[in-house]
Structure 1
Amino acid sequence: MSDHSAPVIIIGGGLHGSSTALHLARAGVAALVLEKNYIGRHASGVNAGGVRTLSRHIAEVPLSLASREIWLRIRDWVDDDCGFDQNGQMRVAENETDVNTLRTRLKLMHDHGYTHEEWIEADEIRSIVPAITPTIRGGLIVRGDGSADPYQTTRAFRLKAQSLGARVIEGIRVESIARHGNDWRVTTNQGVFTSPVLVNCAGAWADRIAAQMGEPVPLTPVGPMMLVTTRMPHFLDPVVLGTGRPLSFKQRANGTVLIGGGRPAWVDRDREWTELDFHQIAEGARTVCDLFPHMKDAIVNRGWAGIEASMPDAIPVIGPSSTQSNLYHAFGFSAHGFQLGPIVGKITSDLITTGRTDLPIEPFSITRFSNRSNQSSLTQGEAI
């Protein structure tokens, strides 16, 4: 094949694109990844790094548990520990409403036969996290959950894929896609690339590819904000999540504290621009100080937001196109796709190489969105 052709072209080099390239390479298929920025520029490299099976949408649970098996052997997969630790994740209840929410959640999980989430009493929470407010009411915990370094992880998947034959081009923008016989013709700002198989891992820009294929989706670009403090004495091992109020809170090995939870920044995806919303940051700060009173003296070092794709039902699109053969989608992870990255790459690779997957992906079909049309939302000069 020429430099401008490949057996599979993957649009988007974030964790899901890089994971797909790695799994394909392990199956003997040398994919070509086209990334408009650099690997990990947006969602995959700048998120909270949660390796979380806790509180997954019920449709995601089988995928999340399967992905956990890869995470437990992550060094074997990518020759890198990815900064992964298993200090657990807990979702805490601040009041009786939160308690009822979490108890209802636990019953749902048990009704479906899942036992990895467990109730944790307030006394045990305080013994694990002495710095937390004494008014905490209990919560849910998955003791085997944890966190990893998102940029380190995405880079590791990319490098391992390349070591096995995958190719990656960064700084290349896809402008249009069209069929040419049995091949896809992908026109970019660096020429035309061809392949019989195309994978749409374009994140917050993935709807533009889907729309060209006659399957528009109601994707919303979002920019979950993250804050990090200066270094503090060690006080926290597990990741702590809020229930009634959005919060993701963890202390990293270097002592800094990472604060997230999905509070949105202002986003302009065409300019790839985000601006922090300081009203939302103030609300988040109140939540942090209510749960961890000593954080009132913390110093925020910096904040940021990457651009992600959110779907109205908060679960991703995973699987084959409904209108085109040899086109596959993996996007719309709605600010919680990091833990799923390893298994989604395997699912997509299996669909391409064997035509099937052992995991239940029907809930993630692109066909769940109505009002499909053949009209493209990609106008001239609007890069994917």
Structure 2
Amino acid sequence: MNLRPDAVVVGAGIVGAACALRLAERGLRVSVLEQAESPAAGSTARSVAGVRAQFATRTNILLSQRSIAEYAALPEAGYCASGYLLLFSAVQWTAHQAALALQRSLGVPVRALSPLEAQRITPFDPEGIAGCSFCPTDGSVDPHGITFAYLRGAARRGAELHTATPLTAVTRSGGVWRLHTPRGTLEAPLLVNAAGAWSGEVAALAGLDVPVIPARRMVFATGPLGRHLGYPMTFDLTSGVYLRSEGERLILGRADVADSGWREGMNWDWLEPTLEAALARFPWLEQATLDRRASWWGYYEVTPDHAPILGRMPGADGWINACGFSGHGVMHAAAVGHVIAQEALGEPASVNIDALRYERFGQAQAGLHDLQL
């Protein structure tokens, strides 16, 4: 173990892997610490794996656009441009017009559809739906494949990966961070907090308050349907329920906003509220069966405004946050890797992240709200 790297990345999920690669590319000696037995074992492995550029803020759109472009060029990413179909109520549709205009101005090939046109993509009950949007370059990826590709790239440039290496204490002295682990103590002038749902706890070890908490999410899977229906990610903004094809199955879910904290395992009590909303919008689901063994759960890493925390931590020299993505980590990881490397080296950012910096929590939260899918 290199006990004196230039930078330590805490977390070997997709975001940490992207940061490690881009830092190593710049010639920094990088160590990656992961508490689990293998990389991509936390939220990355349990993601629904969707990627979309249909956001309402410029920063999020650009982070997604650049990430999707990188995934499309990476064979290990398994990028599938299956699209995202969003369904809006009348009030939501009126409010969404500004987002559609912004997306188009940035080159996102999004289309506005009537409910009738949208039903040709995914059948649904149009009751209460006033308008829909569809982007054909949104879709899905293989987060596991991306993470390991990034880590292999970082290793070729000298980065070290240490799994089963939890942090036990973090201190700052003499211009370096001291990271204490059961395998030894590392000293580095730069620490990147990319620990996902554990990022708040990692910060607390250093006496810092980074407002990231875990939120459990259920993903329910149907049994094999005998054929690939080819439905894109379809999200009903009126109820919060989503579904998409996954091979010959469908996966579906709906966020339980009360399910926060370190709760493990499937919450089967949430199945009924999810199915109630799903069947109301997609009544043809009655013909499908549920496969409990194929269903899974994972953590979102949630912040107070459901936006990530990126960039240097005020009052903590050498500490950079790359966490709190609130379900959008896979969507933004590729671009975030570049931005964090630029931040570390004092270079202009390829995407302006000022709206996502920690300092916003002491300011008015204007302009940060976006679709929570």
Please tell me the TM-score bracket, short chain as reference: 0.7 to 0.9
Structure 2 partner of 1:362 = 354
CA shift for structure 1 position 267: 5.5
Distance 2:72 2:120 in 1: 26
SS of residue matched to 2:96: helix
Structure 1 partner of 2:368 = none
Residues 56 and 36 of structure 1, relative CA distance in 2, 3 Å threshold: farther
Distance 1:106 1:215 in 2: 39
Deviates more, 1:209-218 or 1:37-46: 209-218
TM-score by length of 2: 0.87
The code of the aligned residue for 1:247 comes to: V
Deviates more, 1:42-51 or 1:277-286: 277-286
Of 266, 269, 276, the residue aligned with 1:276 is 266
Structure 2 partner of 1:87 = 82
Of 342, 345, 350, the residue aligned with 1:350 is 342
Of 316, 331, 344, the residue aligned with 1:324 is 316
CA shift for structure 1 position 109: 4.1
CA shift for structure 1 position 115: 5.8
CA shift for structure 1 position 333: 0.6
Over the residues paired in the alignment, what is the CA RMSD in angstroms?
2.4
CA shift for structure 1 position 87: 1.4
Residues 179 and 141 of structure 1, relative CA distance in 2, 3 Å threshold: same
Judge conservation of contact 2:81–2:140 (CA < 8 Å) in 1.
yes
Distance 1:363 1:238 in 2: 30
Structure 1 partner of 2:250 = 257
Structure 2 partner of 1:8 = 7
Structure 2 partner of 1:26 = 25
Judge conservation of contact 1:88–1:239 (CA < 8 Å) in 2.
yes
Q: What is the identity percentage for the equivalent residue pairs of Structure 1 and Structure 2?
A: 23
Distance 2:121 2:100 in 1: 24
Distance 2:154 2:112 in 1: 39
Distance 2:27 2:254 in 1: 39
Distance 2:217 2:168 in 1: 27
Structure 2 partner of 1:66 = 66
CA shift for structure 1 position 85: 0.5
Residues 43 and 57 of structure 1, relative CA distance in 2, 3 Å threshold: farther
Distance 1:85 1:108 in 2: 24
Please tell me whether residue 294 in structure 1 is matched to residue 294 in structure 2: no
Of 187, 195, 201, the residue aligned with 1:194 is 187
SS of residue matched to 2:22: helix
SS of residue matched to 2:168: strand
Alignment gaps of 5+ in structure 1: 372-384
Structure 1 partner of 2:40 = 40
Distance 2:257 2:183 in 1: 34
Judge conservation of contact 2:111–2:133 (CA < 8 Å) in 1.
yes
Structure 1 partner of 2:371 = none
SS of residue matched to 2:44: helix
Of 106, 119, 134, the residue aligned with 2:97 is 106
Distance 1:279 1:357 in 2: 44
Judge conservation of contact 1:266–1:274 (CA < 8 Å) in 2.
no
Judge conservation of contact 1:62–1:359 (CA < 8 Å) in 2.
yes
